Chain A
Amino acid sequence: MRRARIVAKPMSSTAINWFKYSAPATFYGLAGKLIPWFATGSIVLFAAGLYVGFFLAPTDFQQGESYRIIFIHVPAAWMSMFLYLLLAGYAALALIFNARLSAMMARAIAPTGALFTFIALWTGALWGRPTWGTYWVWDARLTSELILLFLYVGFIALQASIEDARRADRAGAVLAIVGAINVPIIYFSVQWWNTLHQGASVSLTRAPTMAAVMLQGMLLMVFACWFYAIAVILTRVRAIILERERGTAWLAERLDRGQA
C-alpha cells in the first residue's frame, strides 16, 4: 500500500570497489576467510592478556588481588557501549541505503553486545563486594549499564517477534536509532539523578595512576575482546546470510562446490 521502493541492487564490483562487499554473496566468502584469523588472534591475545593480568601485573596496594577483575570488567564495559553505537550505525545504514547486509550486521551484533553488557554488570558486582562491601550500588555507571542491557534485550526481542525478516530488520533499525538518541540523555540523567539524591558514598573513579604493566594487560584484553567480538559477529552474519539467502543461485552454486 505504499509507493514503490527502488530496491538497491548490489553495485557492480568494478564501479567502486569497497561497495563490493556490501553484497551478502561476496561478503559471505570474505567473512569466511577472516573468521579463522580473528578467532586465532583472540585466543592468543586472551592468553597473553590474562597472563599479564594475573601473573605480571603487581598487586594493588589498596585493593589487593581483587582489582584484577578489571582485566575483564573494563574491556567488557567498553565493548558493551562501542557495540551499541556500532549496532545503531549499521541500523542507520540499513535504513538510509536500504542495505540488507547492514541490517544483518546490526542483528548479529546485538547478542554479543548484550553478552558483554551482562559480563560487565556481573563482574562489576563481583568486584563491588570486596571493594565496597556490597554487590550493587545505584551508581550512575551501574545504572546506565543496566539500562543499556534493557535496550539490547528490547532490540533482540523486537526482532525475534517479527517473522518477516525485512520488517524485523527495519523495525529494529528504528528502535536502535531512537535508543541511540536516548543513550546520552539517559546517561546524563542518571548521573544527575545520583548526584542530586545523595553524595556518592562510593566512587567508581579509581586512583588515576596505573602501573604500565596493568595498562598493557588491559589493552591486550581490549584487543582480545574486539577480535572475539568480530569473529563471533562474522560467524553469526554468515549464519544469517545462509538462512536468508537459501533460495538464491549463488548459494546453491557454493553448496554444490562443497564450500558452504
Chain B
Amino acid sequence: MGSVLGWIIRRDLVLALRQRTDVMTTLVFFVIVVSLFPLGVGPELEKLRPLAAGVLWVAALLASMLSLGRLFAADYADGTLEQILIAPQPLSLVVLGKIIAHWLVSGMPLALIAPILGIQYDLTGEPLFVLLISLLIGTPVLSAIGAVGAALTVGLRGGGVLIALLVLPLYVPVIIFGAGAVEASASGIGPEGHLSLLAAFLLLSLVVGPLASAAALRISVE
C-alpha cells in the first residue's frame, strides 16, 4: 500500500521536474497576479495592508487551479490512466499520491514564496508567519478538491475553464479561513481557531477528495 503511494509520488515528481517550465509558470502567474493589484488599487501601504491576505489567497486559488488540468491530462492522453484504472492497487490511493505530488510542485512552492510577496504588502511579524502557515495547510485542500474537478473533466474539450467553474465555489471555506487567519492574527484575536478549522478541512478533503476523484475517473474513462 505505502509503496504504491511512494511510487506514484516519485513518478509524478520526476515527470514534473522534467518539465520545469510548467512548475515555474504557476509560480510566475502567482507573482504577477499579486503584483497587479497595487497597480489597480493604488500604491499606498495603508490601503494594501488590509488587502494582503485576501489578494494572496485569491491569487493562490487561481494559480493552483491553473495547474489542475495537468493532474490527469497527460496520463489520459498517453493511456497511462487506463493502466492505472485496471491496476490491482486501490485507485483512491493512487489519486492521493497524485494529489500530494501536485501539491509539492504547485501549492508548496507558492506557499513558500508568499511571505516575500506579503512583505510587498507591508505584512510583517506574526501575520506574515501566519500567512505562510495558512497557505501550507490550505493549499493541499485546494489540490484535493481540485482533483475531483480535474477527474470529472478529464478528456473534455474546454476542460480548463470548466474546472474553474466546478471547483472555485467549493474553495470558498478555504479562502475564508485562510485569509481570515492572517486577519485574525493582525487584529490580535489570534489565528488558532481559523488554522484549526483549516486543518479540519484538510483532513476531510484528504478523505473525500481521493474517493470522489477515483469515482469520477472511473466515470470519465469508461
Contacts and interface: CB of A to CB of B under 8 A. Distances in A.
A193 interface: yes
Contacts, number: 80
If over half of B's interface residues share one DSSP class (helix, strand or loop), that class is named, otherwise mixed; here it is helix
B190 to A, nearest CB: 12
A193 B152 contact: no
**Size bin of chain B's contact surface:** 20 to 34
Contacts of A190: 172, 176
B23 interface: no
Interface in A154-183: 154, 157-158, 161-162, 166-167, 170-171, 174-175, 177-179, 181-182
Interface string B73-105: 000000000100110000000000000000000
A26 interface: no
B212 A178 contact: yes
B106 to A, nearest CB: 21
A2 B212 CA distance: 17
Nearest to B194: A196
Contacts of B219: 167, 170-171, 174
A158 B170 contact: no
Interface stretch (B25-33, B62-70, B155-163): B155-163
Interface in B201-222: 201, 208, 212, 215-216, 218-222
A154 B176 contact: no
Contacts of A171: 152, 216, 219-220
B180 A196 contact: yes
20 contacts: A2-B86, A150-B169, A153-B165, A154-B165, A154-B169, A157-B165, A158-B152, A158-B165, A161-B153, A161-B158, A161-B162, A171-B216, A174-B148, A178-B145, A178-B170, A181-B208, A186-B169, A190-B172, A190-B176, A196-B184
